[in-house]
Structure 1
Amino acid sequence: MEEKVGSWWDSLIKKAAYRGYPQAAVRLDTMEKVAPVFFRAMGGNPALGLRSTVGTEHQGRRSLLERIAGTNDRVELAWADDKSLFLPEQIDLFPDKSLNRKLYFWLLALSAEYVPELSDAKMDWLRTNQEATQRCLAAMPGLAQVYQELVAAYIPLRGSMGMMPAAQAVTEKAIREALEHPGQPLSATVNSLEGIMPVHLWSHPTPPSMPAVRRKDDDDETDAEATLHNQKESKKQRRYRAKQAEQDERKNGPLMIFRAESIFTWDNFVKVNRHDDDDELGDLRAADDMDELAIARDTKKRSSRLKLDLDLPANAYDDTPLGPGILLPEWNYKTQQLVADHCCVQPMLPKNSHPTELPERLQRSAHRLRRQFQALAPQRNRRFGQIDGMDLDLDRVVRFFTEVKSGKAESTGNFYLDTPRNERSLACLLLADVSLSTEAWVGKGQQASSVIDVVKDSLMLFAEALQASGDAFGLYGFSSLKRKQVRYLTLKGFDESYNEVTRGRIAALSPGFYTRMGAAIRQSTEILLKQPAHKRLLLLVTDGKPNDLDHYEGRYGVEDTRQAVLEARKAGLVPFCVTIDREAGEYLPHLFGTHHYVVVPDATRLPKVLTRLYSTLSQ
């Protein structure tokens, strides 16, 4: 009974002390489609992904009721790093839902102009936000009315300055002046933000950060190999302040026969000798209540440490290489230049491929696609009265001799009939991602199948359709294992016919390694540029972001892929991406452009989507 009454009291006191307006709340997930577009339109860095921020403690004054309830000690503010833009997961600051939505747009616009100062002084934070607001309003005058509405509704929420101590009242007055008149200098000097509530219309003064903690003798490539590969970033990513701690060098920690050691795991690093088989660390939600995590580097080598990595198979079991490797450049976004001969692309043929007939399960779909795509095949139109041609125009010949007999003949020489082919000059290269992640399964029950099987079915049906259309096409696959081993599989070259041999290569495909997408796109661009066609289409089929072991994770791989796509487009190609990654909407607009990609949430629909897409793009 005491627990139930306590829970009632806790719920009641927190509800009474809460300052927000839940009935007017706007969540970030309702903005995830329009927010990235608006941010880029405002001039923000298109490489930044959208994430929800985390509440951090503040030094502002709280009411007695809030202190009793233990609420309003944290605040969610906007901020950005070199990879992501962080916004509050929910805004319920105003009683008007439209104002809460406008606040999201204002924070997006301000983040596009905000440049944090290198100095840690609090005054720099206030001045930087004031200057960013001024630049934002100057660059986008249409936001002035929205900003004034937000300021007019926000300042009363900050409380009365008459109840504040003199020093805090001076600081609060300066903040309100900066909000109301961002273009005017402050009338007072701000020395401290102690007791001052944070400003929800500005960027975070000291955003959470996760600085790198490394040994001096670390090797970048070795560290990258030890990381867990292909983990998806959550849209609700938890952020912490980090501090570096010294490693506890004690050989034997305290021996505990109960599970209290999990209490220390989240706060202070303690080496504990465990003598049970349960490796759970307790409730992971304990970390959500912390703003600062201690990080230490263990310099001791342990025989129990496992290093997971992929290795190339032996030559007897590996795919068949085709000639020497091809050296290609790679884009370094940090130096903003191409690094010459940085990657080695190795053309290969799938191992153990045998001539294969079209699987029975695909024959019905293939027959339907062939009938549809035959309509795209070049048609012959008969032209009469030509100077030369393959056949005689009998009507004109008869008419001519009739006129000769009547003495009215006028020789024109146009006695031939020709049926020239109405050529459609188009070449398409389909590049399939066959990385290790394609080993995953999709679908349920008897309809379940691996991603690689779906990709193989898609390639076969795609080839059947294009064979009927008469367009030139090539099929290739790729995976990678660091920059010196980018494996480029030839399934059907442009100079080859689509037949049993080609289908055998497709059927022999198996999941490979990682996804060095930039090098594969550059090699595809070189192949496609050699084709004598007026329109060249480069289709990429993938299931995730570009990644590899040696620094190709994260923004490095994204920026290199984007540069490769820009190079292809500049060369006159039409690059387009088809992906089954549900989170691709966060990064593909930056890579391929807003209208040059499509997300297929249901991987089993990939064959249908691919052929329909080609029919549209080839018009």
Structure 2
Amino acid sequence: MEEWIGNRWHKFITRRADRGFPAAAVELEAEKKTIGVLFRALGGAPGVRIEAASAQEVFVRRSWLQRLAGSAQSAVIAWQDGDALRLPPLLQVFPQQSLNRDLYLWLAILAARSPQQYRNWALDNQRLVTEALTQFPALRPRYRRLVEALLPLRPAPESLPDDEAELERAIRRALLDPQTATDLPRANRAPQPVPLWLYPQAALDDPLAVAADIPEEGDCTAGSTQSLSERKRGERAEERERRDGLMLFRLENLFSWSEYVNLERSEDDTEDEDAAAAAEDMEKIVLSRQRNQRSSSIRLSLDLPSEAYDDLPLGDGIRLPEWDWHRRRLLEDHVCLQAYYPRNGDPAPLPQHLRRDAALLRSQFEQLRTQRCWLRSQLQGEEIDLKAWADFCASRLAGHAPEPGVYQSFRATHRDMATLLLADLSMSTDAALDEDNRVVDVVRDGLLLCAEALASVGDRFAIYGFSSVRRQQVRFTLFKNFAEPHGDPVRGRLLAMRPGFYTRMGAAIRQATLILRDQPQQKKLLLILSDGKPNDIDRYEGRYGIEDTREALSEARRAGLHPFCITIDRSAEEYLPYLFGQNGFTVLNHPAHLPLRLPELYHQLTH
């Protein structure tokens, strides 16, 4: 009974203390595409993601009702760094949905012009507002509506102490007339957040960023495949001197999850089921640096199999470059790629459950061995090529006399195609799709069926897989090279496919480019199968991995290759357009359909 009354009271008093307008709320997820298009169209970096920000602790004056409810101790503010533009996940500042939607777009406009470092938060925001209104005068009525709707919602200066009242008046002048560049005076308390301005990153530094004096081998540890829904605020805490002895406390003084406890804990890489839920509940994540020497501890990587069970290495490692987007340059010989041959990949026939589909695909693809098509701009042929004739007439009137190839002929041509299929074999492909299948199982079946189709049409093709364990070991598994004919040995190696490790995609694409570039065929297709974005357990995550992969794809295009990605990652539309372009990828909503969809997509790409 007490718990029921307590819950009712909490909901009632929290609702009364809330100064927002829930009925007019607008969600970031519904506006993310529009915000992204506007942000990039006005000059925002293409690699910057649009993400939800988390609540930050604020020290503002609260009303007695807010103090009674224990609310308004934190606020969600908009800020930006090199990786993402972080906006409130829900905007309910104004009583009209149109104004809340306009506020999202206004923040995107400011962020597109925002500097990475703020010298003076208030003056820099006023400068951004002035530049935006000067360059786009049509925004002036919209900005005026936002300011006029915001001012009545802010605290009245008459109700504040003198120093806070002066600060509030300065904010109002800065909002109404940003061209005057009004500086903000100091006050004992912080002002109410200004929803129309971006906040600096300086106070929101990522606590997970590696300090300069930590060696690269200890950059990060492997994390959970789940990610927090919001960006958390962090703080570093210095590790205090450890002393042996008793810890005396009263039982009612036990710490909560969100309080820092200076205890030495054993290091463990296993996933804590409660850690993700605890991190979601925490407003601030506090980290301290362990000062133990590396020689004083032993750390085993249980992901790496022993040599007796691992795949067979082929030769020495290959040194490859990697793009460092922080320095804007290519790091030569930065990555070591090791080729592997699948262990236990004995020759085997096609599995029984795939034989019917394979027979159907072979009968369909055999018809593509020799295609009949129209050859245009020929010196002789069956019909007039109207486009070539129009071009010839225009050139002649312009004073040029090109060779009059104005005919078209319907002839049989041969396919001149080389394809390299590159499969992501990271540990995420070990995830279960249903009771009987994992992601890696449908990837394997898709490659088996695609190999049958390509062999029947006579196209030259190769199949490789990749995964990684930091930059020192990018694993590149050989299933079929271009010189080997398709048969039971290839099928056996595909059946021996195993998932593991991480996704350093840039190095794998560079090696695939080197292999495919040497083929004599005129058309070259690099077909990538992936289930997630590039990542690794060192700094190869976030925008670093995205930018390196994008640079590797640009190198592939300059080499005459056509890269295309097939993915089952439902969030792929947030980053794949930046990597492959709007028409360079496809997302499969049902991963189980991959085995049959893969040959169909190949036919569409090469027809």
TM-score (norm 2): 0.83
Matched, 1:437 2:418: no
Q: Work out whether residues 62 and 72 of structure 1, in 8 Å CA contact, stay in contact via their aligned partners in 2.
A: yes
Mapped to 1, the partners of 2:564 and 2:135 lie a distance apart of: 33
Match for 1:441: what amino acid? A
Q: Work out whether residues 250 and 271 of structure 1, in 8 Å CA contact, stay in contact via their aligned partners in 2.
A: no
Match of 1:204 in 2: 199
Is the alpha carbon distance of 1:309 and 1:146 closer, same or farther for their aligned partners in structure 2, counting shifts above 3 Å?
Answer: farther
Question: SS in structure 2 opposite 1:442?
Answer: coil
Match for 1:339: what amino acid? L
Mapped to 2, the partners of 1:5 and 1:548 lie a distance apart of: 49
Match for 2:156: what amino acid? S
- What's the offset of the Cα at 1:490? 2.3
Mind listing any 5+ residue stretches in structure 2 that lack a counterpart?
A: 376-408
Q: 1:344 aligns with which of 329, 333, 336?
A: 336
Is the alpha carbon distance of 1:347 and 1:288 closer, same or farther for their aligned partners in structure 2, counting shifts above 3 Å?
Answer: closer
Matched, 1:179 2:175: yes
- What's the offset of the Cα at 1:430? 0.9
Match of 1:367 in 2: 359
Q: 1:569 aligns with which of 557, 561, 571?
A: 557
Match of 1:190 in 2: 185
Match of 2:238 in 1: 245
Is the alpha carbon distance of 1:207 and 1:297 closer, same or farther for their aligned partners in structure 2, counting shifts above 3 Å?
Answer: closer
- What's the offset of the Cα at 1:261? 7.2
Q: 1:163 aligns with which of 153, 159, 163?
A: 159
Greater shift, 374-383 or 470-479, is seen at 374-383
Matched, 1:560 2:554: no
Matched, 1:478 2:474: no
- What's the offset of the Cα at 1:433? 1.2
Match of 1:424 in 2: 415
Question: SS in structure 1 opposite 2:86?
Answer: strand
Q: 1:449 aligns with which of 420, 430, 437?
A: 437
Question: SS in structure 2 opposite 1:498?
Answer: coil
Q: 1:492 aligns with which of 480, 490, 494?
A: 480
Match of 1:310 in 2: 303
Mapped to 2, the partners of 1:59 and 1:597 lie a distance apart of: 47
Match of 2:513 in 1: 525
Is the alpha carbon distance of 1:377 and 1:285 closer, same or farther for their aligned partners in structure 2, counting shifts above 3 Å?
Answer: closer
Match of 1:401 in 2: none
The structure with more radius of gyration: 1
Match of 1:462 in 2: 450
Match of 1:27 in 2: 27
- What's the offset of the Cα at 1:566? 1.3
Q: Work out whether residues 330 and 343 of structure 1, in 8 Å CA contact, stay in contact via their aligned partners in 2.
A: yes
Is the alpha carbon distance of 1:14 and 1:552 closer, same or farther for their aligned partners in structure 2, counting shifts above 3 Å?
Answer: closer
Q: Work out whether residues 567 and 586 of structure 2, in 8 Å CA contact, stay in contact via their aligned partners in 1.
A: yes
Is the alpha carbon distance of 1:149 and 1:536 closer, same or farther for their aligned partners in structure 2, counting shifts above 3 Å?
Answer: farther
Is the alpha carbon distance of 1:32 and 1:64 closer, same or farther for their aligned partners in structure 2, counting shifts above 3 Å?
Answer: same
- Once the two structures are superposed, residues 193-246 of structure 1 have per-residue CA deviations (whole angstroms, 9 ceiling, x without a partner) of 83521101111256533335878974221343xx12463433x12512414233
- What's the offset of the Cα at 1:127? 0.6
Match for 1:348: what amino acid? Y
Q: Work out whether residues 258 and 283 of structure 2, in 8 Å CA contact, stay in contact via their aligned partners in 1.
A: no
Match of 1:85 in 2: 85
Match of 1:390 in 2: none
Match of 2:76 in 1: 76
- What's the offset of the Cα at 1:102? 1.7
Match of 1:146 in 2: 142
Q: Work out whether residues 248 and 269 of structure 1, in 8 Å CA contact, stay in contact via their aligned partners in 2.
A: no
Mind listing any 5+ residue stretches in structure 1 that lack a counterpart?
A: 384-417
- Once the two structures are superposed, residues 257-298 of structure 1 have per-residue CA deviations (whole angstroms, 9 ceiling, x without a partner) of 96x675256324243999xxxx99999877667654543233
- What's the offset of the Cα at 1:256? 7.6
Question: SS in structure 1 opposite 2:371?
Answer: coil
- What's the offset of the Cα at 1:531? 2.3
- What's the offset of the Cα at 1:520? 0.8
Q: 1:128 aligns with which of 124, 128, 133?
A: 124
- What's the offset of the Cα at 1:539? 1.0
Match of 1:233 in 2: 227
Q: Work out whether residues 506 and 549 of structure 2, in 8 Å CA contact, stay in contact via their aligned partners in 1.
A: yes
Mapped to 2, the partners of 1:488 and 1:499 lie a distance apart of: 21
Question: SS in structure 1 opposite 2:535?
Answer: coil
Indicate the percent of aligned positions where both proteins have the same amino acid: 41
Mapped to 2, the partners of 1:382 and 1:223 lie a distance apart of: 58
CA RMSD of aligned residues (A): 3.4
Matched, 1:587 2:581: no
Q: Work out whether residues 261 and 272 of structure 1, in 8 Å CA contact, stay in contact via their aligned partners in 2.
A: no
Question: SS in structure 2 opposite 1:347?
Answer: strand
- What's the offset of the Cα at 1:522? 0.6
Q: Work out whether residues 545 and 584 of structure 1, in 8 Å CA contact, stay in contact via their aligned partners in 2.
A: yes
Match of 2:395 in 1: none
Match of 2:396 in 1: none
Matched, 1:535 2:529: no
Mapped to 1, the partners of 2:283 and 2:146 lie a distance apart of: 29
Match of 1:391 in 2: none
Greater shift, 585-594 or 159-168, is seen at 159-168
Q: Work out whether residues 366 and 461 of structure 1, in 8 Å CA contact, stay in contact via their aligned partners in 2.
A: yes
Match of 1:107 in 2: 107
Is the alpha carbon distance of 1:223 and 1:614 closer, same or farther for their aligned partners in structure 2, counting shifts above 3 Å?
Answer: same
Q: Work out whether residues 458 and 607 of structure 1, in 8 Å CA contact, stay in contact via their aligned partners in 2.
A: yes
Question: SS in structure 2 opposite 1:93?
Answer: coil
Question: SS in structure 2 opposite 1:373?
Answer: helix
Is the alpha carbon distance of 1:421 and 1:48 closer, same or farther for their aligned partners in structure 2, counting shifts above 3 Å?
Answer: same
Q: Work out whether residues 10 and 69 of structure 1, in 8 Å CA contact, stay in contact via their aligned partners in 2.
A: yes
Mapped to 1, the partners of 2:342 and 2:275 lie a distance apart of: 47
Match of 1:64 in 2: 64
- Once the two structures are superposed, residues 454-504 of structure 1 have per-residue CA deviations (whole angstroms, 9 ceiling, x without a partner) of 111010111122223333322111222333432222222223222222212
